[in-house]
């Protein structure tokens, strides 16, 4: 379960970095409607939420493994898969933008 905790926090951190590159360097938009306004209008608040509060919530979910093991296990698996998919989508989009701009000389 500690590996899942590590993977969830690492995926969240990579998602924050990929989001930063995608929004500020390549002109994309945040796909999460709950965080889109913060990501574009209040960047520091977005970084605080995504970089500090979300990892703390992931750790809190991890600590529920003693009192509610099914909830903790399912939640950790869901969070890890969702963040890993999000990072994969960001990296795919970034690779596509970079290859297209190089091909067209933009």
pLDDT digits (tens, 9 = 90+) for 33-76: 888 888 888 989 999 999 999 999 999 999 999 999 999 999 99
Which distant-in-sequence residues (6+ apart) come within 8 Å of 26 by Cβ? 94, 97, 98
Domain assignment of residue 10, given as a range: 2-104
Per-residue confidence (pLDDT) for residue 61, from 0 to 100: 95
User: Which pTM was predicted?
Assistant: 0.84
Per-residue confidence (pLDDT) for residue 32, from 0 to 100: 83
Counting the structural domains of the chain, the total is: 1
Flag whether pLDDT at 105 surpasses 80: no
């Amino acid at each position: 379960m500690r590996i899942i905790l590590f993977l969830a926090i690492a995926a969240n951190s990579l998602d924050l970095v990929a989001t930063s590159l995608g929004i500020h360097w390549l002109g994309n938009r945040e796909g999460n409607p709950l965080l889109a306004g913060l990501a574009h209008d209040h960047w520091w608040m977005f970084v605080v939420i995504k970089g500090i509060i979300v990892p703390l919530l992931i750790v809190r979910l991890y600590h529920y493994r003693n009192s509610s093991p099914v909830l903790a296990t399912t939640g950790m698996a869901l969070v890890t898969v969702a963040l890993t998919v999000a990072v994969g989508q960001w990296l795919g989009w970034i690779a596509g933008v970079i290859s297209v701009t190089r091909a067209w000389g933009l």
